[in-house]
Structures are given as C-alpha cells and as structure tokens.
Amino acid sequence: MAVPVGGFLGAQLVPYGRDHDNPPVRTSAPWPSAEVEELAVAACYDCHTNETDWPWYSNVAPMSWLVQRDVDRGRDELNWSEGDDDFHDAAEAIENGDMPPTQYTLNHPEARLSRDAKDALIAALEAMDEGAEAEEEAAEEAEEAAEDADEQEPEDDDSSGRGRGRGRGGSNSGPG
Ligand code: HEC
C-alpha cells in the first residue's frame, strides 16, 4: 500500500526553521506590574522577544517555516529583548486589533485578549512610552549640562590674575 508521505518526509530535510536557539535576552520592557507582563508574555513574547516558546509543531515542516517566518519578521519589527522602546506603536497595534495576529490566537487561546486585558496592556504601554520619552529627555539635558560645564571651565581658570591688570597700559591719558 502506497503511503503518501514522501513529500512530508522530504520537507523535514529542509534546514530552514529548525534553528530554534533563542538569542540572548539583553533587556526587557519595564512592565509596571506582573499582571500586565503576563498578558504581554501570553500575547506578544513569542514573536517580539528572544524568549520564544517554540511549540512542538515548530519542528515539523511546513509549520516550522511559517512559525520561523513570523518570529523573524516579528523580531525585526519590534524586539523588547533588544531594548526597542516604541511602546506607543505596540499600544496602537493592540487597539487596532492588528496584534496579536488572529492566526496566532487560533493556536494560542491564552493570547486572546479580553477588552479589559487590552485596556490594561494599552494603558501600561502608553505609560511606558511616556517613561521612555522622559528618560531620553533627561539624558539629553544631562548631556547639554555636561557640555556647558566643559565650555565654562577654561574661562574660570583664565580669570585668575590676568584680567585684573586690564586698562592699565591701555589708557590714552598717559604722558605724550
Ligand atoms: C505570531 C507572532 C506575533 C505575535 C504573537 C505578535 N506579533 Fe506583532 N508582529 C508580528 C509580525 C510578523 C510583524 C511584522 C509584520 C506585520 O506587521 O504583520 C509584527 C509587527 C508588529 C508591530 C509593528 C508593525 C505594526 O503592525 O504596528 C508592532 C507594534 C507589534 N507587532 C506589536 C505586537 C504586540 C503588542 C503584540 C502582543 C499583543 C504582538 N505584536 C504579537 C508577529 C507577531
């Protein structure tokens, strides 16, 4: 009896999609609470961090190719493990219903976000976005202050002694 598995077995030989080492996690997003972090882990982490939980079927072609492609493209767009901090975009993607992808929620029921869960996640992301902006501003100000301090230093040193004699030899009222 012929079993039509030749193509299936052949597909397993394609190396793409089998390399499931997660790159090192450099940093993580500053979630304000464990509850919100849990929501993000369930709905976003597989594709937007280096903490991907590879499902068993991610080792079986052709699912492996689809999963690998999603993760590669997702990490390219946004990777919280690499310090991406455009949290406002993420909030919008949730609000618009773009993320998590519907296809993903079919296999991952825990990634389906209720209205309350969406609101909590969006509020957290917007707060984190403001935090990230404030941090950038503070860093800029600190840099400017450091530059100002650099510029002032030589002037301060210079003023000792030399400036005092100014006007002595320069007056026109000398004997002439
Ligand atoms: C199954 C994998 C997967 C999951 C889970 C997932 N994403 Fe994505 N995400 C992608 C891919 C692939 C792209 C790039 C292509 C695209 O936009 O469809 C993307 C793009 C994005 C972008 C940038 C482009 C855009 O659409 O605004 C943001 C922001 C984003 N995702 C946020 C999230 C958030 C927040 C979650 C969780 C609520 C999430 N994603 C869950 C795969 C995923």
User: Is the pLDDT assigned to residue 75 strictly greater than 60?
Assistant: yes
**90 Cα: distance to centroid of ligand 1 (angstroms):** 8
Provide the whole-model pTM.
Answer: 0.80
Q: Could you tell which of 45, 48, 104 is best to mutate to test the pocket of ligand 1, judged by most ligand atoms within 8 Å of the CB?
A: 48
- Taking Cα atoms as reference points, which of 41, 119, 133, 139 lies closest to residue 86? 133
pLDDT (tens digit per residue) in 127-176? 999 998 998 899 999 999 999 988 876 655 555 545 454 545 444 554 55
**32 Cα: distance to centroid of ligand 1 (angstroms):** 21
pLDDT for the residue numbered 4: 59
Of 43-52, 58-67, 92-101, least confident by mean pLDDT is 58-67
Domain map (residue ranges) of the chain: 23-131
What distance in Å separates the CA atoms of residue 24 and residue 51, rounded to the nearest whole number? 9
- Atom 30 (ligand 1): residue with closest C-alpha? 90
pLDDT for the residue numbered 143: 92
- SS3 of 31-63: the string is CCCHHHHHHHHHHCHHHHCCCCCCCHHHHCCCH
pLDDT for the residue numbered 153: 67
- Taking Cα atoms as reference points, which of 57, 83, 81, 61 lies closest to residue 16? 61
Share of the chain above pLDDT 90, in %: 62
Ligand 1 atom closest to the CA of 86, numbered from 1: 29
Q: What is the chain's length? A: 176
Mean pLDDT of 28-32: 95
Mean pLDDT of 83-105: 96
What distance in Å separates the CA atoms of residue 51 and residue 81, rounded to the nearest whole number? 8
pLDDT for the residue numbered 5: 66
**Secondary structure (3-state) at 87:** helix
pLDDT for the residue numbered 171: 47
- SS3 of 94-153: the string is HHCCCCCCHHHHHHCHHHCCCHHHHHHHHHHHHHHHHHHHHHHHHHHHHHHHHHHHHHHH
